[in-house]
């Protein structure tokens, strides 16, 4: 499965490992993803999402229904 947040759309980015001698090798920075189940009272159902830590903060702040609506508009959530 892809390592992409279904709320914020965060995905892995690439960068460099830099040693003390300033040698550079390529590496990836992965988002902090968690698999969580959320209950949507408006639809009376549970959804399982792969969300980043910042996506969880958005859900706590705005609510799951509002976050899913925005994610569907932006194309991050296909449910």
Q: Is the per-residue pLDDT at 1 higher than 70?
A: no
Provide the pLDDT for residue 79.
Answer: 81
User: What's the pLDDT tens digit per position in 32-75?
Assistant: 999 999 999 999 999 999 999 999 999 999 999 999 999 999 99
DSSP 8-state assignment for residue 73 = H
Quick check: 62 and 41 in contact, CB under 8 A?
A: no
Mind listing the domains of the chain with CATH numbers?
13-74 (2.30.170.40)
Task: Give the model confidence (pLDDT) of 10-35 as tens digits.
Answer: 999 999 999 999 999 999 999 999 99
> Measured between alpha carbons, how far is 6 from 27 in angstroms, rounded to an integer?
23
């Amino acid at each position: 499965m892809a390592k992409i947040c279904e709320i914020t759309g965060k995905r892995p980015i690439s960068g460099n490992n830099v040693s003390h001698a300033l040698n550079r090798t390529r590496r990836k920075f992965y988002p902090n993803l968690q698999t969580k189940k959320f209950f949507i009272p408006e639809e009376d159902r549970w959804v399982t999402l792969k969300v980043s830590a910042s996506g969880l903060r958005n859900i706590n702040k705005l609510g799951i229904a509002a976050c899913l609506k925005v994610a569907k508009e932006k194309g991050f959530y296909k449910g």
